């Protein structure tokens, strides 16, 4: 089993060029913890005598996003290691003990952040625990937020080992509505792209006022407790984009825009991917519906993670990534890039995409006065179980 990682800080060419960490060897590379920008990465390739492992990516946001990603990774990994024997005992048991234990650790981590930093910040967490049980190997994926964990089996089939807890995912929105109902708290509205919200750019406000359309514009509607795309508002949004030819400044994702087919057969873009693709947001401010931190949304944000167990076979592959990387590539292309290229070629490919795509562009860095792509921080761990 070989573990590689890449890192790139926004606006710079800070690349970490360690080629690989191989847990078949006992060396000083068993543990790695590093931070670049608001991303943090943690690798522990040797938890115990069974060669169990922890891999973790945290993608911070907000004023103190860097501190939230560092602190949450530090606290959570200590909790995992402290309770590792219990995790090994419970992970295949047909009961709730394993998920309850994980939830307790996430709650402890979240509470530990409360008195430390600015409340207008938070972080995603995506982690994979590798547990070796005699000849069997299991990957336990645990995530909160929207940093992807992707799995590719030896036959080439790709699947998600994570759940995207953001306002673009209608299933996550339904979970949020259900949680608010259980708490007996009124749910916040979820608005189309942040560009049309009162907390962001005034451009969309100007255009919607010109057409006498209420702004901000809600993305969803609730019928009998079930979340649905607000078709009327969707059509209003897209008509404004087309009518005023609003430029696609600030696009986050280069992936093929996903679509949904309505009952009448019409095809529409999925919520969160309209033109500028800034993403839907809770009360016009936060894209995530689950995170660590974001205490200004404390009653509306859940810290309970998604958990999935996957048995691992020889030649399987797993990618943990911040969206700074996953937004640049389709899933298949990302596996091709990471597992079939040298580190130098990987970095060059990322740099060329970010530097030549008109939606990103270049910006001069004040440290060395050179131009670098203005894209998000990038962190990624990719594991080959050959």
Contacts of 119 (CB under 8 A, 6+ apart): 293, 294, 295, 296
Average pLDDT of span 258-285: 65
pLDDT at 287: 87
81 pLDDT more than 80? yes
pLDDT category of residue 35 using cuts at 50, 70 and 90: confident
User: Could you tell me whether strands 39-44 and 149-152 are parallel, antiparallel, or unpaired per DSSP bridges?
Assistant: unpaired
pLDDT at 79: 96
pLDDT category of residue 191 using cuts at 50, 70 and 90: confident
pLDDT at 128: 97
Q: Poorest-confidence range of 188-197, 295-304, 359-368? A: 359-368
Strand ranges in 37-195 using DSSP code E only, listed in sequence order: 39-44, 53-62, 121-133, 136-144, 149-152, 158-160, 190-191
In order, the DSSP letters of 165-221 are -BTT-HHHHHHHHHHHHHHT-PPPPEES-GGGSTTS-SHHHHHHHHTT--SS-BSEE
pLDDT at 353: 75
pLDDT at 250: 41
Average pLDDT, the chain: 79
Rounded to the nearest 10 degrees, what angle do helices 343-356 and 331-339 cross at? 140
What is the distance between the alpha carbons of residues 266 and 370, in angstroms, rounded to a whole number?
47
Contacts of 154 (CB under 8 A, 6+ apart): 313, 314, 315, 316
49 pLDDT more than 70? yes
What is the distance between the alpha carbons of residues 145 and 124, in angstroms, rounded to a whole number?
5
The better pLDDT of the pair 65, 360 is held by 65
CATH number of 2-163+301-384: 3.60.40.10
What is the distance between the alpha carbons of residues 210 and 244, in angstroms, rounded to a whole number?
11
Number of helical H runs and strand E runs in the chain: 9, 21
248 pLDDT more than 70? no
Segments of the chain assigned to CATH 3.60.40.10: 2-163+301-384
3-state secondary structure of 28: helix
pLDDT at 25: 38
290 pLDDT more than 80? yes
Cis amide prior to 216 (ω within 30 degrees): yes
Asked whether 55 and 320 are in contact (CB, 8 A), the reply is yes
What does the pLDDT look like over 207-242, one tens digit per residue? 555 666 666 778 888 888 898 888 787 777 767 666
Average pLDDT of span 304-324: 94
User: Could you tell me whether strands 267-269 and 259-261 are parallel, antiparallel, or unpaired per DSSP bridges?
Assistant: antiparallel
55 pLDDT more than 50? yes
Dig out the tokens for 70 from the structure. 């560092």
The better pLDDT of the pair 180, 262 is held by 180
User: Could you tell me whether strands 226-229 and 220-223 are parallel, antiparallel, or unpaired per DSSP bridges?
Assistant: antiparallel
What is the distance between the alpha carbons of residues 244 and 208, in angstroms, rounded to a whole number?
10
125 pLDDT more than 70? yes
What is the distance between the alpha carbons of residues 152 and 140, in angstroms, rounded to a whole number?
15
């Amino acid at each position: 089993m070989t573990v590689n990682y890449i890192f790139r800080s926004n606006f710079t060419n800070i690349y970490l060029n360690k080629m690989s960490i191989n847990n078949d060897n006992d060396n000083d590379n068993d543990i790695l913890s590093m931070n670049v920008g608001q991303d943090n990465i943690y690798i522990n390739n040797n938890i115990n005598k069974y060669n169990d492992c922890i891999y973790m990516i945290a993608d911070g946001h907000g004023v103190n996003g860097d501190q939230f990603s560092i602190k949450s990774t530090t606290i959570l990994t200590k909790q995992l290691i402290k309770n590792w024997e219990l995790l090994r005992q419970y992970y295949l048991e047909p009961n709730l003990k394993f998920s309850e234990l994980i939830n307790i650790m996430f709650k402890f981590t979240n509470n530990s952040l409360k008195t430390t930093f600015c409340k207008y910040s938070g972080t995603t967490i995506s982690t994979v625990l590798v547990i070796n049980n005699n000849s069997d190997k299991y990957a336990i994926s645990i995530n909160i937020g929207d940093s992807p964990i992707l799995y590719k089996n030896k036959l080439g089939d790709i699947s998600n080992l994570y759940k995207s807890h953001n306002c673009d995912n209608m299933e996550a929105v339904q979970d949020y509505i259900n949680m608010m109902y259980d708490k007996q708290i009124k749910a916040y509205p979820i608005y189309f792209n942040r560009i049309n919200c009162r907390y962001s750019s005034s451009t969309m406000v100007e255009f919607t006022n010109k057409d006498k359309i209420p702004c901000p514009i809600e993305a969803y509607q609730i019928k009998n407790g079930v979340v649905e795309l607000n078709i009327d508002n969707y059509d209003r949004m897209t008509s404004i984009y087309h009518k005023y030819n609003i430029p696609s400044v600030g696009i986050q994702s280069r992936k093929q825009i996903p679509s949904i087919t309505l009952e009448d057969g019409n095809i529409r873009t999925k919520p969160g991917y309209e033109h500028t693709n800034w993403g839907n947001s809770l009360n016009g401010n936060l894209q995530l519906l689950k995170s660590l931190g974001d205490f200004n949304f404390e009653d509306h944000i859940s810290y309970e993670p998604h958990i999935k167990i996957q048995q691992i076979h020889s030649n399987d592959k797993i990618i943990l990534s911040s969206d700074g990387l996953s937004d640049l590539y389709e899933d298949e292309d990302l596996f091709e890039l990471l597992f079939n290229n040298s580190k130098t070629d990987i970095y060059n490919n990322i740099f060329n995409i970010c530097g030549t795509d008109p939606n990103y562009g270049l910006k001069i860095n004040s440290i060395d006065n050179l131009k670098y792509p203005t894209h998000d921080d990038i962190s990624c761990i990719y594991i080959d179980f050959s």
